[in-house]
A and B are shown apart, each in its own frame.
Chain A
Amino acid sequence: MDSDEQKVDLIVVGAGLAGLSCAYEAARSGLSVLLLERGDHPGAKNVSGGRIYIEPVRDLMPAKFWQDAPLERPVTSESLVLMGPSSSVTLVFSSESMRADPPSSYTILRSRFDRWFGEQVEASGAFVVPQAVATGLLRDGDRIAGVRAGEEDLEADVVVAADGALSFLAREAGLAPGLAPAGHALGIKEVIALDPGRIEDRLALAPGQGAARLFLGDLTRSMVGGGFLYSNRDSISLGLVVSLEDLGGRPDDADGSHALLDAFKERPEIRPLVEGGETVEYSAHLIPELPVGGLPSRVTDNLLVVGDAAGLVIYHGITVRGMDLAMASGVLAARACVKAREAGDFSASALSKYDRMLAESFVMRDVERHAAAPGFLARRRLYETYPREICDLLEDLFRVGPDGKERLYPAAWKRVRRTFLSMEGLKDLWAARKL
């Protein structure tokens, strides 16, 4: 067959949120699009914590998209739990604005959501090819001319690397550095089936509403990271995220990463919430932790990099935000491809419209506004000292022992002076000014 007949405008590699959004936007704009997914269906290889923030990307999708999307529960209750070895402090926040309609953020299960999104992408005219692994870039001389999928050569004017945190394609194209521990965090999670009534009772939720609970402190055993609990419709997502660099540097006799999750699940802050539930899935996924803003360049001739593959994630406190950034980067990449096709020019300079649109969007604005967060969050005392000390301070406040109770002020002052007003504490505080 003549190769021109098979050639498409766009091959998108990877049906995660970036790839799906890119294929959707491009197909709706009239481009011929092939979306390759290595799993049995879009979502089959995808994992998030997960909670998605809708506001930044609401207008990038048709209104009906969000009405129909199989999201889990709108988040109406936020908690932060600081954990000492045998105590904890929980801060619960909720507000009218969180109960506003339409809700601004939802819990999400990616296999369910992405599979549905894949159906919308197909309905928009793109070809979604499951069980297809892109094994490398196809080249015509030096030029990127498509991708290789095993024995098959697939040709396209532009390749969009939406192949996730490990992005083999971005590396093959020379845009991403080699994989290194410092560049990633590991997320591991259990999905625990529980009936909706119990979820709502245990988390004090109105019917249909959802909770997001974050955990910091003893659970990560001094490693940079934290835990999360999200309520889905009929399950709870319970997991943790730890720095890969810290995990790799642990001594031989340390518990494995999976044992951290088991110990977390046994904590009295968690156990009653999931009691009687049934674990239905165990998952693990890497999260990119590249220097701020991700890859220094996301564009080369005939190729664009989007989403996690481009390192587009933002660390806000202990939450990692990436799904809305992935969607936006996918849509903007598609728009750049539409312009490139109109001009018949697929060079890096033509495709760099993607970079410019990204720079003008909330994506890079937020990346820059939160540029100081990763440096601050690498401060180990946030994980091994402060949560424990705050718990101990409250123990001083609340506990009455057999000998009665110490005066509050001297005990509290001693602790505050030692922990927070020490040289290290003040340095941490000084570093926090850039947040």
Chain B
Amino acid sequence: MKTLSVDQKLALDAIKPQDEPHIRLDPGKCRACKARPCLQACPAHLYTLSPETGEVTFEHAGCLECGTCLALCPEDLDWSYPAGGFGVQYRHG
């Protein structure tokens, strides 16, 4: 069986993305952050470090709402659940 990339796996999930991100990064805090555990830990691999700008970016559309980034972030991450009816809707669970 072929190995799927994380993006391909997320594409299998029923996700109803909200326009507004439910998680917001503070570029200043992320720039100053040494640990950046979000980059490795996010199971959906939604946090990336731009090699050009050195900025951490977050793509909210594939979020599985697990809370890993919230628990690991050394800063006060602005994190909330997507509004009702949005976000991941598991069909198996």
Smallest CB–CB gap between A152 and chain B, Å?
Answer: 11
Contact with A along B76-87 (1 / 0, CB 8 A): 000011111101
Pair B12/A184 contact, Cβ less than 8 Å:
no
- Chain A residues, Cβ within 8 Å of B92: 109, 111-112, 191, 235, 280-281, 283
Cα(A114)–Cα(B43), bound, Å: 24
Contact with B along A128-149 (1 / 0, CB 8 A): 0011110100000000000001
Cα(A232)–Cα(B64), bound, Å: 22
Greatest chain A CB density within 10 A among B84, B90, B91, B93 is at: B93
Chain A interfacial residues counted at CB < 8 A? 63
Cα(A244)–Cα(B66), bound, Å: 12
- Chain B residues, Cβ within 8 Å of A282: 6, 9-10, 12-13, 64
Chain B: number of interface residues, binned into ranges: 35 or more
Smallest CB–CB gap between B79 and chain A, Å?
Answer: 9
Pair B67/A247 contact, Cβ less than 8 Å:
no
Cα(A114)–Cα(B93), bound, Å: 9
Contact of A258 among B35, B36, B44, B93 (CB under 8 A): B44
Cα(A247)–Cα(B3), bound, Å: 22
Cα(A377)–Cα(B85), bound, Å: 38
A-B contact count (CB 8 A): 154
Pair A48/B40 contact, Cβ less than 8 Å:
no
Pair B9/A256 contact, Cβ less than 8 Å:
no
Interface residues of A (CB under 8 A from B): 38-40, 43-48, 109-114, 130-133, 135, 149-150, 165-166, 179-181, 183-184, 186, 188, 190-192, 235, 244, 247-250, 252, 254-258, 262, 265-266, 271, 274-286
Interface residues of B (CB under 8 A from A): 1, 3-4, 6, 9-10, 12-13, 35-37, 39-45, 64-68, 70-72, 80-85, 87-93
A-B contact list, 8 entries, CB within 8 Å: A39-B89, A45-B87, A46-B93, A190-B9, A247-B68, A254-B40, A281-B92, A283-B13
Given contacts A274-B1, A279-B1, 20 further A-B contacts (CB under 8 A): A43-B93, A44-B93, A46-B90, A46-B93, A112-B92, A114-B93, A133-B84, A166-B67, A179-B70, A247-B41, A247-B68, A247-B72, A248-B37, A257-B40, A258-B6, A258-B9, A275-B1, A279-B4, A283-B13, A286-B67
